[in-house]
Structure 1
Amino acid sequence: MSGAVGREAVFPTRQSLGLMKSKLKGAETGHSLLKRKSEALTKRFREITRRIDEAKRKMGRVMQIAAFSLAEVTYAVGGDIGYQVQESAKQARFRVRTKQENVSGVFLPQFESYTAEGINDFGLTGLGKGGQQVQRCRETYARAVETLVELASLQTAFVILDEVIKVVNRRVNAIEHVIIPRTENTIKYINSELDELDREEFYRLKKVSNKKQRDTAAQDAEILGKREQEAGKAAGPGAQATTHAADILGEHQDQDVIF
């Protein structure tokens, strides 16, 4: 059973050979497509990794500025500015919507931030004092939230692409190192078995042909011998009569006539 290692258990026929060749062609086509998909996803993955690094650096700077801005507001307004914001704000102006991006058959969610118009519940905050600092702090935190949404979108795409690339690479490796070699070994096995069957068939036909030739030669020799026997039997009495007549003429010779 050592010959069954590295190949599929199939019966060596012409039909099996055709099926294995079709399977090999499909495996090679699938390997090529998956390889291209993996390359496209890896390229996008590297781009997202670069953008995540930039977004994190930007987030650090923006949050630092926002923290200083909040400190300025607290110094200028005094009291708990967070409580005032929560009491004054009834509806959110800063909102997030989602959409999908198709990258080689993989749908990546993208988060997009926008500001709803017509909602300004935060407008009267800091009316008594520190209005400019409050406005500046609000704009700073709006940019920070936008950066945070962008970073969340990139992180989500990063996690999804990481899992998809692993799956695609496993499939590529399985096709390249398991399916294609096994199919090629199966095709070689079928070809060798078919060649062996062809040689056996040729040897059998040759033996049958030689036997027929020997049988035909024996039949021809037998027929020729029968014909010779029949010819000898048919020509036997005439030959004996001729010999007897010759003997009679030899024994009874006429005497010479003298004039």
Structure 2
Amino acid sequence: MASSCATDSQLLLSQHFRAQTMMKGRLSGAQKGHSLLKKKAEALQMRFRNILGKIIETKTLMGDVMKDAAFSLAEAKFASGGDFNQSVLQNVTKARIKIRSKMDNVAGTNLPVFESFEDGVDQYELTGLSRGGQQMAKLKINYKRAIELLVDLASLQASFVTLDNVVKLTNRRVNAIEHVIIPRYERTLAYIISELDELEREEFYRLKKIQEKKKQARDKAEKEKAALKAAGQLKEEEGRNMIVDDNDEDLLF
């Protein structure tokens, strides 16, 4: 019976130790993940604020550029003596300013980036030589600058929206790990440690009781031997055999 109790107690201790080791590993992983996610959130927020500042700057500049472009269009129409929009639209076969896209990686997040570039030559380079050539050249420069700014603004706003969603998601994950997962693991680990302490106290108490019972049994046996010796019914003891003798006391540490 005592052997069965000892086996059950050792099995419980072994299970609790395994659970403690597993929970410590999970807690360590959660803390490391929280640290990495927090660094990622800080990097994303830094880039987010940088993009926000560029958007404000670009929008402010866009107002001046569009104003200059609209004014130069009025000047060109006045200098050329009429509206030339229809003639330009009828002769345009392909766009000279085109857009290409790429991805910019920021802390594991891909942000869309748009760039404008020129493809081909100006088909209307000689337009306005007869009248208003200077205003026409100024018109092209201003509208080209306006298109480049619009592309930059679109790129910044696309990156801004993507970053906004990723920052919110990352912050939610950081808060969930910090306020839900880590405290849950810590409470579970504290409970396992308290259970281990209780099992160790029970095991110590069990061994102590076994030791007391063995001591009582030895004392009883010695009294019986002493009584038999006194009655002359018991021979002298032979030398003890350390291999055969199994009456050694349990040691408590």
Question: TM-score, normalized by length of structure 1?
Answer: 0.81
2:205 aligned residue (198, 203, 219): 203
Give the aligned partner of residue 156 of structure 2: 154
Give the aligned partner of residue 94 of structure 1: 97
Give the aligned partner of residue 36 of structure 1: 39
Is 2:224 aligned against 1:222?
yes
1:176 aligned residue (178, 202, 210): 178
Distance 1:84 1:90 in 2: 12
Which amino acid in the other structure matches residue 48 of structure 1? Answer: I
Task: List aligned pairs for 1:59-70, cutoff 5 A.
Answer: 59-70=62-73
Offset, 1:231: 5.6
Is 2:70 aligned against 1:58?
no
Contact 1:38–1:165 (Cα < 8 Å) also in 2: yes
Question: TM-score, normalized by length of structure 2?
Answer: 0.83
Offset, 1:99: 1.6
Distance 1:84 1:206 in 2: 108
Which amino acid in the other structure matches residue 18 of structure 2? Answer: Q
Which amino acid in the other structure matches residue 147 of structure 2? Answer: V
Offset, 1:170: 0.6
Task: Work out the percentage of aligned pairs sharing the same amino acid.
Answer: 50
Which amino acid in the other structure matches residue 76 of structure 1? Answer: A
Is 2:123 aligned against 1:121?
yes
Task: List aligned pairs for 1:225-244, cutoff 5 A.
Answer: 225-230=227-232
Distance 1:231 1:46 in 2: 101
Contact 1:112–1:150 (Cα < 8 Å) also in 2: yes
1:19 aligned residue (22, 25, 29): 22
Offset, 1:88: 2.3
Cα RMSD, aligned residues only: 1.7
Structure 2: gaps (5+ residues)? 1-13, 235-253
Which amino acid in the other structure matches residue 174 of structure 2? Answer: V
Is 2:103 aligned against 1:103?
no
1:189 aligned residue (183, 191, 200): 191
Offset, 1:127: 4.4
Structure 1: gaps (5+ residues)? 1-10, 233-259
Offset, 1:60: 0.5
1:82 aligned residue (80, 85, 100): 85
Residues 65-98 of structure 1, C-alpha deviations (whole Å, 9 max, x = no match):
1111111122222443221221222221111111
Is 2:144 aligned against 1:142?
yes
User: How many residues end up aligned between the 2 structures?
Assistant: 221
Offset, 1:12: 6.4
